[in-house]
Amino acid sequence: MRLHDLKPRPGAKHRRKRLGQGESSGHGKTSGRGGKGQTARSGSSIRIGFEGGQMPLIRRIPKRGFNNARHTVTYIPVNVDALNEFDNGARVDETAMRSLGLANGRGAGIKILGQGELTKKLTVNAHSFSAAARVKIEGLGGTCEIVVRKKGESTPA
């Protein structure tokens, strides 16, 4: 088999639906838009959940009670094997990890996770550590220092 022998699987390619090409095409007259009305017009779109002016279901249902999502803390994960990019005996903190591109985006802080192997002795400053990561860092003589973030403070993007 060569490149010129390759063909798409049967049924994988479809012809484009040609609208407005006369009644016998099957897509003439209204061109698949049904009768008259708002959806038959060009440029019209009705947003999701719109019920024609009736009070939408999502607004009719009462919103009360506990929602755990309001109280979650989202950390940016960094695995232990990614810390091997730093020199032996280095002090690793949030700004150092961000400068190397190990921690990107927004979050309540950085959590060091234990996937992979660490080969260097490091002093790691982070907001949280998994138990496996703490064992691997301290097993090589390194230290884990927890950073305490103030309640309203957020991580830069």
Structural domain includes residue 138: yes
Structural domain includes residue 130: yes
Structural domain includes residue 13: no
Q: Which domain holds residue 132?
A: 76-146
8 Å CB contact between 115 and 80:
yes
98-128 pLDDT, tens per residue? 999 999 999 889 999 999 999 999 999 999 9
Pairing, β 143-146 against β 123-126: parallel
Q: How far apart are CA 41 and CA 80, in angstroms?
A: 57
Task: Count the domains in the chain.
Answer: 1
Structural domain includes residue 125: yes
Is the predicted pLDDT of residue 145 greater than 70, yes or no?
yes
- Work out the average pLDDT over 4-31: 93
Structural domain includes residue 25: no
Please state the pTM of the whole predicted model. Answer: 0.57
Is the predicted pLDDT of residue 44 greater than 90, yes or no?
no
Structural domain includes residue 120: yes
Structural domain includes residue 107: yes
Q: How far apart are CA 39 and CA 41, in angstroms?
A: 5
Task: Read off the CATH number of the domain in which 132 is found.
Answer: 3.100.10.10
